[in-house]
Amino acid sequence: MKLIRHSTVCCALLVLASCTRAAGLEPADVLQRAARAGRDIPAAHFTAHLVFDGTDTGGTAMHADLSAAGRMQHGGQQMEFVLEGRGTGGTNGSWQGKVEVVVAAENDVYVMPRELIFSSPESLPPMLVGHLLNQWWHLPPSDTPPAGPGMTPDPQRLRMQADIVDVVRDRGFTTVHGRSAYHYDVKLNPVKLRSFLAEVAKERGETADPERLGTLTENIDAVGELLIDADTFAILGVQWSITSGAPSRALRINARFDITDFDGGDPILPPQAATVIPLNPLDLLPSGIFLHGSPDVPEFPGEPDESTPDVPPLS
């Protein structure tokens, strides 16, 4: 009985100690751990939703609503997901599409268009559309993984979420998908973003152009939320509201990513039968988009734990 009592006390002390450590971490420490955890995610399921409103270089208003759902393995080197989108504006008028995507390796990408509809007949001949649908196409190695801008939460992007932000409010702990998570309001730090992009370029053996990086990050205002697992420090959710006041091309983007089920699952394999195609069908989807009012990206699930009060905004 003494052994049982001692064991029970020890377990209770360990639990209390771990809770105290987690609760005592500063947001900067949590972000650093999240950045390290984001470098290597063995496997996970994800969903993404992105709404874009803006103008093209000619001043034409555009709108797009994109969503993706799927899974990734081996640190994001392999992915399979379904990408759906609709929009208006530009040369294609209104459009909508649905495409299945398999990324077997960095330069080994397969797509199966399920739906491609354009209001403008000049956009794509119906005969060609019918030929593309419902069969697998192997993209040339020169094409990058066709996920659309930022539509998949690969580890590099997840790592970026933690590396380029300042915490403006600590909301305490939130329960998400049954897991306890740090919940932060964040704001993009342009200086950190430029440093991060320069570091990524160096890792790839490329040279970063400081002037180009400055142009890329100027006139951008981005605020959002981060949900970080309190035990593993894996990023469970990201939400961004981005606006640009650049005179030549105003834009507004609302984006939301959710990461769940960090498990292996069945292997992601290339389709058994695919035809090499010189055209990336996904390039057709976002080429014309118009502003008709953006649907709001839904708020994060879960409610703040009542036992964890909000902390005043960080200076």
Q: What fold characterizes domain 26-287?
A: outer membrane lipoprotein receptor (LolB), chain A (2.50.20)
> Rounded mean pLDDT of the chain?
74
pLDDT digits over 36-58, tens only? Answer: 887 667 788 999 999 999 877 67
Rounded CA separation 282/19 (Å): 46
- Cβ neighbours for 294, distance < 8 A, ≥ 6 positions apart: 51, 53, 63, 65, 252, 254
Residue 306: per-residue pLDDT: 43
pLDDT > 90 fraction of the chain, expressed in percent and rounded: 30
| Sheet-wide strand order for 179-188 | 165-176, 179-188, 220-229, 235-244, 251-260, 43-55, 61-73, 78-88, 95-105, 108-118, 137-138, 275-276
Decide if 308 contacts 173 (C-beta within 8 A): yes
Q: Where do we find the tokens 């879960």?
A: 302
Rounded CA separation 164/159 (Å): 9
Decide if 169 contacts 185 (C-beta within 8 A): yes
- Kindly state the helix (H) or strand (E) to which residue 22 belongs, with its residue range: helix 2-24
Structure tokens at 104: 């077997």
Residue 201: per-residue pLDDT: 75
Which of 168, 163, 224, 149 is CA-nearest to residue 191? 163
- Regarding predicted confidence, which is higher, 97 or 291? 97
pLDDT digits over 88-124, tens only? Answer: 876 667 889 999 999 998 789 999 999 988 887 666 6
| Pick from 110-119, 132-141, 257-266: least confident | 257-266
Residue 120: per-residue pLDDT: 73
The answer, yes or no, to whether residue 309 has pLDDT greater than 90, is no
Highest mean pLDDT: which of 22-26, 89-93, 225-229? 225-229
Q: How far is CA 247 from CA 54, 57, 250, in A?
A: 11, 10, 6
Rounded to 5 degrees, φ, ψ at 293 are 95, 130
With 0-12 / 13-18 / 19 or more C-beta atoms within 10 angstroms meaning exposed / middle / buried, residue 189 is middle
Highest mean pLDDT: which of 53-62, 217-226, 234-243, 279-288? 234-243
| H runs (alpha helix) in 84-207 | 126-132, 155-163, 190-203
pLDDT band at 276 (very low <50, low <70, confident <90, very high): confident
pLDDT band at 149 (very low <50, low <70, confident <90, very high): very low
Range 155-163 average pLDDT? 58
Query: What single letter denotes the amino acid at residue 180?
Result: S
29 sits in the region (left: phi over 0; alpha: psi -120 to 50; else beta) called alpha
Residue 154: per-residue pLDDT: 53
Highest mean pLDDT: which of 160-169, 223-232, 264-273? 223-232
Residue 101: per-residue pLDDT: 95
Structure tokens at 218: 């100027």
Rounded CA separation 163/301 (Å): 24
Beta 95-105 vs 108-118: how paired, if at all? antiparallel
By 3-state DSSP, what share of the chain in percent is helix, strand and coil, each rounded to 5? Answer: 25, 35, 35
The answer, yes or no, to whether residue 308 has pLDDT greater than 50, is no
Residue 88: per-residue pLDDT: 87
- Kindly state the helix (H) or strand (E) to which residue 18 belongs, with its residue range: helix 2-24
Q: Where do we find the tokens 């989807």?
A: 285
